[in-house]
Structure 1
């Protein structure tokens, strides 16, 4: 063969190799596993049949654990928003500024990298359908934290589960039917639309958080049911509340089954990782495996959650993992399973659980996990828990934390005490004493900003409809000296159209409302009566502790020119012709020009 022919042959060989390499790369791109992450709200570890509760049936969730991996000792935070922040970032919640469940304390700091941003950067389509609870106004909004599509609510809880007011990508919309069913429908559509490309689907369901609303078809089974699996102190248990919670859990299980059926129909089970967990312990005293504590507690029962992870063909069916793990582990684990390089701007507190899931290592280092909420901090080793009062318990033999074994395990107690002291000094210290963050208006990439009653401060006679700010409204506005204020920062100057969601009886027509910020102000009358009754009680299976709701409707107050900067946004009633001004639920400010 001549030299020229040899060079041409070599050239074509390299071209073919390059094309084959491209095909491999493209194939590998298509083979990235999809992720479906399901998180329930206030469902305890004991609210599943697989964990020994004989009073309810959860076959679809149970099947996830049987056909995948089951973590026997998985821990979350004692309440909603911190767990969600840890899931999003792989870091302890207080590092990201999350210290409360409302009024701004639920917001995740803007310098944190989220799991959605990680997967979106890797080419995934991302969506979140349900309860967000880590900030509402952009750039705290889920659409600004890596999620391409969002449907649900950003507050800590919601007052109506049947076709309620929700939002889709920061626009107010009306829900379609029972909320968990509706969220699942959105998830099914997302799966169908993205079946040919990798996706990350986050489904933070809103149940069994109160109010205890569930359709008749689920409630009928439990309304008069005798319960056999009881809390260790049965006199503390609210049986009606428990029955409603179980009905909601069976509805969740049905929706999990719908998701798994869709994956099976599309032939996607082998290329989809499905996770299931809850955000904290049960929201009532009910059977929970004899553990001490419930939602809000750093004891075992307040922070232990189910965790099932299924990945057909990769994770061996029936895998039981006894090693302790916690919410911050999920981000590094999923990135590792998906083969995504994990580059965040801050060090993670979690670690990848892939070696346990795929049985790649026999040795696993000892870990100490910290649970914190309010003034409670506890530490968990593989077998022991140091509670917030520094008592030591051997959990395998004493899940109810009845016997303090400090004197029997002095060295272990000293180790856990040292961890607690170190955590408080190095992690908790990152949380500022005072929250100086403002509520943002007019993010350059988002025309619409929602300013709810939840985030406002009432002055004068104005009262909140409930002591829990989430989903509340302001009422009893009887004086022109009264006002509602928000500490805000306008991120981009411009002309903003203002809509106020209100109610006002005809006999109180027409109060003059005035909105002001700095040198800008806007006034106008509320001249259309709208006085719907309180709603929600007709759907509640047991009396609620949260606010009832109304059918609040918007009216356009007008437009206001806002300058960039920080200030106090104030809403006043300068004239009150009747007994009171409006009931206030929400205000939206839409930028009309850039």
Structure 2
């Protein structure tokens, strides 16, 4: 019997002897939007759309005036999960393994699970796919969604449930919400942690007609500060996608009401970075990818009826690093990782009826591809990487450099940036880590994590949801750098697409002197799809295909590091198959 089962049994017994709901630990529901800007909510003044359900969380609870995340997706998720700046945990990119959170980092979800909570995540993980990086190994008993950073289609998409491939039903956000509500109902009689990391309004810009029809011919009245940069198709699509999020948030809130769990549940809403296009964002400078205010400022709303005062506004600057410690203290869960936290708990502020004094602190932001360019935020100022200083309370648009008027602040913030840069240097300059195999019964190695050689290329510039295509020669191949945790026999399964001319081609998987092979005996040549459902340009996102599995017999994998190679030594035509992923299943 695990800790959660023991806790549940005790709770049932205590209920029989009269324990009240008020005496149990609160539930937690967390919504995380993807690429939604601070300004993409009617609560923050955007009259182009209506987000009444999200707004209500703020009105019934606390809203943070200045809350900061990272400029891109995976780093924010890592900071949220660990309470530590993402660079400390090895997250230095958003794809090809750089998005993985080091396995020696503890997540607050692990602490909640160990305290007896039922834990689940429904959506975009983006901190590692293979065990022990997988969400099921990081504190979440239940996971439905995808582990990559991008997904090429949002209708009936390929997903996974606890490391097993499944097919989603309908629009992805609606489906994830359905599953979350089922989880909440299933665990209504015990404390639960339900994490909903949605993957919209990230591209591709897809959304059901009932949400898009309102905006398809709209002329948004509120525009970006540089309106000539704004792509109105992107704006209209994003607004529709955010309204879909709001509708789904409303469904979860209604479910809590129906189950009489509202007063017992902490609800959190925030986003992972700035907007993914130039659109209205409160006159702030920058967007996704930038470490200016517009790229890293996010809404943060926290509701806990009767415990957090309705309409509370928190003036103290905070960040994603603060959420884990805050939720742990609110729920009386011990979250004390061996590595020091960067985040601070806001529980005393949220539970206080009196206005709390402000204290100064530094929050650090770095662009992934130029991590040495540290931007520093204090309670009052932002110092950008070029040494410009802005008084954010008076100048959120960063239009006036006041460095000359505040030399002491500039000197102190530059010193802090230098120190932070040195603290993260080792992790940011570390060698690439191999992909782990054999730490679970089944290991997915998608094309995203492999390397193409010869004529082979990715189906799109963004690796996350891509597949390998362009195979033309017996000299072409694809490889995966791996670390095998458990030596033994494995069943390799390749997901492929191939026209009739490729039937008869033998694929060979090898590592060192070990190999396995299988012949393509059936044509499988489906069309690619996805872009026809887009409301705006998908940019570098890949289309998708429905690939078929092909077993390559059995391969013996030695423990340790090596390189897996997939090749076709003898080809039957002038082209080879397209490859989406390789799965390795342990054979007992």
TM-score of the superposition, structure 1-length normalised? 0.94
Alpha-carbon distance in 2 for matches of 1:28, 1:182: 30
Of 42, 46, 58, the match for 1:53: 46
Of 198, 201, 213, the match for 2:191: 198
Counterparts of 1:252-271 in structure 2, within 5 Å, are 252-271=245-264
Deviation of 1:385 after TM superposition, in Å, equals 0.6
Of 417, 420, 423, the match for 1:420: 417
Q: Secondary structure at the match of 2:408?
A: helix
Q: Secondary structure at the match of 2:30?
A: strand
User: Is 1:581 the counterpart of 2:576 in the alignment?
Assistant: yes
User: Is 1:407 the counterpart of 2:375 in the alignment?
Assistant: no
Per-residue CA deviation, residues 95-146 of structure 1 (Å, 9 max, x unaligned), is: 0000000000000001000111010011101001100000000001000111
Counterparts of 1:190-339 in structure 2, within 5 Å, are 190-339=183-332
Q: Secondary structure at the match of 1:357?
A: helix
User: Does the CA contact (< 8 Å) of 2:22 and 2:264 recur in 1?
Assistant: no
Equivalent residue for 2:36? 43
User: Does the CA contact (< 8 Å) of 2:509 and 2:567 recur in 1?
Assistant: yes
> Residues 396 and 508 (structure 1 numbering): CA distance in 2 closer, same or farther, change over 3 Å?
same
User: Does the CA contact (< 8 Å) of 1:212 and 1:540 recur in 2?
Assistant: yes
User: Does the CA contact (< 8 Å) of 1:180 and 1:205 recur in 2?
Assistant: yes
TM-score of the superposition, structure 2-length normalised? 0.95
Deviation of 1:435 after TM superposition, in Å, equals 2.4
User: Is 1:468 the counterpart of 2:462 in the alignment?
Assistant: yes
Q: Secondary structure at the match of 1:538?
A: helix
The answer for unaligned runs of 5 or more in structure 1 is 1-19
User: Does the CA contact (< 8 Å) of 2:108 and 2:335 recur in 1?
Assistant: no
Counterparts of 1:380-399 in structure 2, within 5 Å, are 380-399=377-396
Poorly superposed stretches of 4+, deviation over 3 Å: 20-30
Alpha-carbon distance in 1 for matches of 2:49, 2:291: 26
Alpha-carbon distance in 2 for matches of 1:143, 1:351: 26
User: Does the CA contact (< 8 Å) of 2:496 and 2:549 recur in 1?
Assistant: yes
Deviation of 1:488 after TM superposition, in Å, equals 0.4
The answer for unaligned runs of 5 or more in structure 2 is 1-12
Q: Secondary structure at the match of 1:574?
A: coil
Deviation of 1:430 after TM superposition, in Å, equals 3.9
Deviation of 1:26 after TM superposition, in Å, equals 6.5
Deviation of 1:561 after TM superposition, in Å, equals 1.8
Alpha-carbon distance in 2 for matches of 1:275, 1:129: 15
Alpha-carbon distance in 2 for matches of 1:550, 1:276: 33
User: Does the CA contact (< 8 Å) of 2:159 and 2:168 recur in 1?
Assistant: yes
User: Does the CA contact (< 8 Å) of 2:518 and 2:550 recur in 1?
Assistant: no
RMSD: 1.6
Deviation of 1:508 after TM superposition, in Å, equals 2.3
Per-residue CA deviation, residues 518-571 of structure 1 (Å, 9 max, x unaligned), is: 221011211111111110022111121111111112122222122222111110
User: Does the CA contact (< 8 Å) of 1:30 and 1:198 recur in 2?
Assistant: no
User: Is 1:497 the counterpart of 2:491 in the alignment?
Assistant: yes
Deviation of 1:360 after TM superposition, in Å, equals 6.2
User: Does the CA contact (< 8 Å) of 1:60 and 1:257 recur in 2?
Assistant: yes
- Comparing 352-361 with 296-305, greater Cα deviation is found at 352-361
User: Does the CA contact (< 8 Å) of 1:94 and 1:430 recur in 2?
Assistant: no
